[in-house]
A and B are shown apart, each in its own frame.
Chain A
Amino acid sequence: EAQVTQNPRYLITVTGKKLTVTCSQNMNHEYMSWYRQDPGLGLRQIYYSMNVEVTDKGDVPEGYKVSRKEKRNFPLILESPSPNQTSLYFCASSEGTSAETQYFGPGTRLLVL
């Protein structure tokens, strides 16, 4: 089944404790991206990657890192999480090298205490 998977789905952590949210797609898609969803703000893009080893900042990259060493994986790294990073995170992928039609993962709900 074609899909985007994220792990973990739920995470509670404390301020400053590094964490990684994994994202993997099995559709051989070139483009991948990360979003956060907050009430009243909709979805905001954190980082995107047009291809392996090519990443760039989205709208709200502060406090996040990403890497794209393999086509299928695009982990989101929070080196020192803070409470304002409490949010619902979505990973997405699309076939071309842009966000033309994105397919989203199931989401990761993060609570930073």
Chain B
Amino acid sequence: AQKVTQAQTEISVVEKEDVTLDCVYETRDTTYYLFWYKQPPSGELVFLIRRNSFDEQNEISGRYSWNFQKSTSSFNFTITASQVVDSAVYFCGCYNNNDMRFGAGTRLTVKP
């Protein structure tokens, strides 16, 4: 079974700081998908990104960027110039062969 570790339980930053959320995954499979979801204080789960295991290209979407490194089994998420609206719990996940695993989540608080 897969395993996903988000070692940072809580992070607090001041607005405009950059912040990186770490995600380390374990899987025996060569084909898998990695995800990030955001859960704002309102409680819904918002899809952010999906990456398949064959695509190690980093991705940037506005202030968000993702760094996928197979060599270290990591899929880290960076928010540049954080804003108060980025305050949320962020979940990293790994999927393969009908087995979906999420990490415990990282609570990010961005203070004004």
Name B105's closest neighbour in chain A (CB-CB): A42
Main SS of chain B's interface residues?
strand
Give chain B residues whose Cβ lies under 8 Å from the Cβ of A25: none
| A64 touches B (CB below 8 Å) | no
Of B33, B45, B47, B99, which is in contact with the most chain A CB atoms at under 10 Å from its CB?
B45
Are B95 and A104 in touch, CB under 8 angstroms?
no
- Give the A-B contact count at a CB cut-off of 8 A: 55
> Are B102 and A42 closer than 8 Å at their CB atoms?
yes
The yes or no answer to B50 lying at the interface (CB within 8 A) is yes
In the complex, which of the residues B35, B44, B91, B98 contacts A42, with contact meaning CB atoms closer than 8 Å?
B91
CB distance from B38 to the nearest CB of A (A): 11
Give the interface segment out of A11-19, A43-51, A71-79: A43-51
- Cα(A56)–Cα(B98), bound, Å: 9
Q: Contact: B102 with A100, CB < 8 Å?
A: no
Given A42-B91, A48-B98, A90-B45: A100 in contact with B104 (beta carbons within 8 A): no
Q: Does B111 reach chain A (CB closer than 8 Å)?
A: no
Task: List chain B positions with a Cβ less than 8 A from chain A.
Answer: 1, 4, 6, 9, 33, 35, 37, 43-45, 47, 50, 91, 93, 95, 98-105
Chain A interface (Cβ within 8 Å of chain B)? 33, 35, 40-45, 48, 50, 56, 58-59, 88, 90, 92, 98-104, 106-107
